Structure 1
Amino acid sequence: MRYVAPARDSVDPAVFARMPLAGWRDFSELLEGAPWPSIDALNQRWPDGSRQRFVAQTPALLGDGLHYEQRIAECGLIATRENNWHDLLNAMIWLRYPSLKQALNRRQIDEMKQMGPKQRSRAQYAMTHFDEGGVIVALSDPSLLALWDAHDWYGLFWQRRQAWLDGSIQVELFGHALLELALNPGKLLVGKALVFHIDKSADLRSSCAAAVASGQLLHDPLELRPLPLSGLPGWHADSADEAFHRSTPCYQPRRAGRSYPPVFVQSEPEPG
């Protein structure tokens, strides 16, 4: 069944105080204000010199004959439905992660040139999955990765709970569809993760954007590890209870034969 986001005036305000939406407090006037933000209000958020602009998705705009990705690449115009949660949240992702969104756009265009308009490659599916439901994860402890790869969710989220609190493992939500699901407090969130090991001086966002732009990642959906985000401390009302981690339906066993790629290692380049 297709998910339908709640009406703006019926969203439970409590969802904005809980992760992942609590991590977007700098956009609170766009999320929590009574009226829908205008396209102009979104564009005012771009830093000076940005090429991209949001533009209302109207029949006249769509009449240009361009694919959504082409319009961004060629004109810098991001078609955005007004009064629409999915597109508003996508706009927020663009504003926070412009380099990564641009990298995905360029890669999508390259794939479209090879595949044509009616077929999609495995790489295109991988990029779409990440764009909609992606999370970026940094970790340094191999024992955490072993629990994750084994789908030992009780071990990862309960027995090693402190690792999620002390920074041993860090998560940045990128997928706008996950934010849309989070508008409903009863939803159990599962992200599709790219996992990095980076040195302490490196920036997780720029490392991910560089790896995607260079074509080192996102060639197949199977690169993405499932991560049940509702298990993270504070991401679900019941995540502080041990019983939740023994019985929640978002903790699925690993499929027979399923394996994951190694963690991507990237550090910041040496200066000069």
Structure 2
Amino acid sequence: MRERSGAVENRRLPSYGAGEIDVPYVVHGTDEVIARDTYWEEHSHPTHELLWNLRGASTATTGARVWTITPSVGLWIPAGTPHSGWTPAGTWHHAAQFSVHAVPAIADTTVAVEVTPLLRLLLERLNTDGLDRESRARTEAVVLDLLAPAPVELLLRIPESALLEPIVAAVRADPADDTTLAAWAARLGVSTRTITRAFRAQTGLGFSQWSTAARVQHAITLLSVGEEIEEVAERVGYHSASAFGAVFRRVTGMSPGRFRVQ
């Protein structure tokens, strides 16, 4: 079901347990150029799912974790895992479903997958008409050999504490927000140590590290639609492209240019 409201499209999909439906394929791919900003309400598949984009960046949320999906970093979601998603207009969205009876999960939990040029070509080949059974089987076998967790995860853990909710909302609404830890502590009537402990307990990061990760996640989305690196740096709160680039590499292990559409 699709419900259109204003500029955002809501999509509802059913929720299935792992293997609840016996599918007649090993790997089945779909792709779509998303015409308008789209929110995918929480759902789950009877199959394992690999999400990636040929163009643009999107996000998928599992519990309190928000994953960024790009042309080079995809996301493996094990069968039966509840997840929701956000896909901006213009994204060329790809999804591949894997039979739980024919394909073992590459991990017990949601995990980032490096979408190499070879893996991308093979997945696109499986999505073409006219592929005979033998050719399909060979291609599927190579795809399964290539699937592996990525060395880098584009992941932001969202703290669920009511105390931290105003901070999270402010940074996600405006990544350039430069409110300091001391200012937040004064505003919320607690000590800086209390905020730091809450962030570390729920995300594994301190306030500053978490804010940086949130800015980088937003920057990836802007870069993936072709925004200039200098403009992106300013929009996420950095005074120079070089400072932004250094932070971006530290968080993602990659340069901003890798994510930018030329």
Task: Give the TM bin, normalised by the shorter chain.
Answer: under 0.3
Q: TM-score, normalised by structure 1?
A: 0.27
Structure having the higher strand fraction is 2
Q: 1 or 2, which has the higher helix percentage?
A: 1
